[in-house]
Amino acid sequence: MSLFNQQYPANSATFNTLVNNQVEIALAEDVGSGDLTAQLVPKTQQVNATIIARETAIICGIDWVNAVFRQVDAQVKITWLVEEGARVQANQTLCKITGLARSLLTAERCALNFLQSLSATATQTRLYVDAIAGTSAHILDTRKTIPQLRLAQKYAVTVGGGQNQRLALYDGILIKENHIAAAGSISAVMKQAFALGGNNSIQIEVENLIQLQEALDAGATSILLDNFEPSKLRDAVHLNSNNSKPAILEASGGITLSNVREIALTGVDRISIGAITKNIQAVDLSMRIHK
């Protein structure tokens, strides 16, 4: 189970609170004191609408869409024709919506923003997951996320078949080069990490095989291999396997769809990719009102 799903189980109070809070902020930003343009439409006008996919995608964000329409107008009715995580094709209808025209028009943009963005992350994640199918590696996200959408994007990664790195700074220790420099050495910073105690996960980033050996000697159980070429990754896997207590190895940096399978085949345990949350292009979706 992913870190997100552990802390925010589907349909739990914590999950619903997260969704509702994010939607409330988005609506406050977009609607503010009121939707001026929607007032051009008769107040009692009832309409039907559909949301349609314009390209192939993995759908993610249904709960956010439902929450947007519910917060705008609890009387709006939505019938979904696809499930969360479904692969859809261009021109496929995702849902049917019935309600006051003003309500649908006011909710449209926020609902689509969530659905397009989260589906984009889920879709990109699935591409990477499919690319390494049959290997022992797993695809993970990073903290390179859209501000205020961190947890929603972490959720979308799981919908796409990926796993979560730590959710945030409070959710584990990741020692990077600047931490090592400030502490003085790998052994010194690892001692501080172990001294912190508790159930905190501890991972350290290394940039070469010498640092990898230092980290192993210092007792590291999870090591991030930063920008290692595939040949060096294989060397790292070999070095790690000969250690009395092998660590979990994670590749990161410079990873694309064109090289991710080669990296997975080196034998690393995990591959973290910032692009699945940072370099996304919104999935092309549209809402159409039908007279």
Residues belonging to the active site: 109, 144, 176, 205, 226
Residues 132 and 127: their CA atoms lie apart, in Å, by 9
- The SS3 call for residue 57 is strand
Residues 111 and 250: their CA atoms lie apart, in Å, by 35
Residues 226 and 95: their CA atoms lie apart, in Å, by 43
Residue listed under structure tokens 């052994």:
187
Structure tokens at 60: 């993610």
Q: Which neighbouring-strand residues pair with 95?
A: 51, 80
Structure tokens at 56: 């192939």
Residues 27 and 14: their CA atoms lie apart, in Å, by 20
251 phi, psi to nearest 5 deg: -90, 145
Residues 174 and 201: their CA atoms lie apart, in Å, by 8
Residue listed under structure tokens 């400030």:
182
In terms of phi and psi (left: phi > 0; alpha: psi -120 to 50; beta: otherwise), the region of 228 is beta
CB contact at 8 A, 121 and 90: no
Q: Which of 94, 112, 96, 113 is nearest to 48 (CA)?
A: 96
